[in-house]
Structures are given as structure tokens and as C-alpha cells.
Amino acid sequence: MAILYALVGRGSVVLAEHSAASTNASAIAKQILDNIPGNDDTNVSYSQDRYIFHVKRTDGLTVLCMADDVAGRRIPFAFLEDIHQRFVKTYGRAVLSAQAYAMNNEFSRVLNQQMEYYSNDPNADRINRIKGEMSQVRNVMIENIDKVLERGDRLELLVDKTETMQGNTFRFRKQARQFRSTVWWRNVKLIVAVIVILLVIAYAVLAFICHGITLPSCRGK
């Protein structure tokens, strides 16, 4: 999967989260929440090896996800915007006073569903391309995660390679099926075109032998 972890929080309080792989992303995410500078709305990304933590904070509500660096920024930030809208629409003002993990049982399923959609469904990227580059992504900063984590010990990001490989295998198989389908239809169209051309040639030869397009001499026989 392109998006491996997601979290919704208020300040340093985690309200809901979901992980699609065996990882310590949750611990790193919580440190990021504790150390995001200022209180203003922000869109920022923090790199950690080949993974990037994307953060969107709006009106005190923070939505965060961890994604492969190959996912770029458009899809992760589209995912964050989607999750922010769904969360506010579902819980409204309750998010202002909710306790830690108060929405986890219910909303973690939504996180899982949307993570799979934005990671695997090609329509997710097509929709975002139609909308154009999101304005908040244009101004996003990318920093090394060590700069935002002020504690002395450096946290290494540990991702279960088996889970990641399974996600990569799923994407490869899906792309392979799409490629085979495309090639099959191309071959069918080519065969149909060849048959039509041969029929036209055969008719032209027959019309020449039978002295006309209505084949008069051949019908007379």
C-alpha cells in the first residue's frame, strides 16, 4: 500500500488511528504531534528514510499519514483532506472535547477503507488530476523528521517488509492484469481489422472477375 498509517488528533491527543503494516509509525506520529511548531494551520511533510509523514492541521484538528516516498504528495494530501472532511462531518463539535481514542473503534474502519482506496484504486489519482494540484501541496515543506523530534534518542522507522512487499505485490498484479487486458483488446481489434481487410480484398477480386460490383456474370452462371 502507498499509505501505510493514518491518524486523526487534536493537539497531542490521538482520537483515531489505523496502521496497515507492522510498524512503529504510531510512536513517531505522536512525537510529531507533540513537536509541530506553532498553532496555525499548516501542511508539512517529514521524511524518514523512504517513508514520508504528511501532516495537515486545520482549526486545531490534525490529520497525519505515513506513505511511501513513491506516492508523491498529491495523493497523500488528497487523502488527508478527505479524512478531515469526513471526521468533521461525522463528529462536529465533539472533536473539541473528546478523550483520547474516543472515535477509534468507529473511525479506524473509515481510515482503513480510505487508505486502501487512495493506495490501490487508480480512480483516486485520476480524480485529483482533474481537480488539479491542490494549493496547499504547492507550499508544503519537506523536512527531515529528526529536526522536528526534539528528544535525544533518534527513532528509527521500523516497517515490516513482509507487509510492504504484500502491498507492492498487490499493485504489481493489478497492473499486470490491466496490461494483459489492454493487450488482449488490442489483439482482438487487430484481428477484426485484418478480417475486414481480407473480406474487402476478396470482394474486390470477385467483383473484377464477375464484371461488376453486383457480380452480374457470376450470378448468371
* Measured distance CA(109)–CA(220) in Å, rounded: 77
**170 pLDDT exceeds 90?**
no
Q: Which residues contact 37 (CB under 8 A, 6 or more apart)?
A: 148
pLDDT band (50, 70, 90) for residue 86: very high
Segment holding 53, helix H or strand E: strand 51-58
- Would the pLDDT of 112 be above 90? yes
Cβ atoms of 17 and 8 within 8 Å: the answer is yes
State residue 109's pLDDT score.
94
Q: Please, which residues have CB within 8 angstroms of residue 113's CB and are 6 or more apart in sequence?
A: none
Cα(113)–Cα(108) distance, rounded to whole angstroms?
A: 9
Does the pTM exceed 0.85?
A: no
When comparing pLDDT for 175 and 197, which is higher? Answer: 197
Residue range 114-120: average pLDDT? 89
**Mind listing the pLDDT tens digit for each residue in 27-58?**
888 988 888 876 788 888 888 778 889 999 98
Cα dihedral 125, 129, 134, 137 in deg (nearest 10)? 60
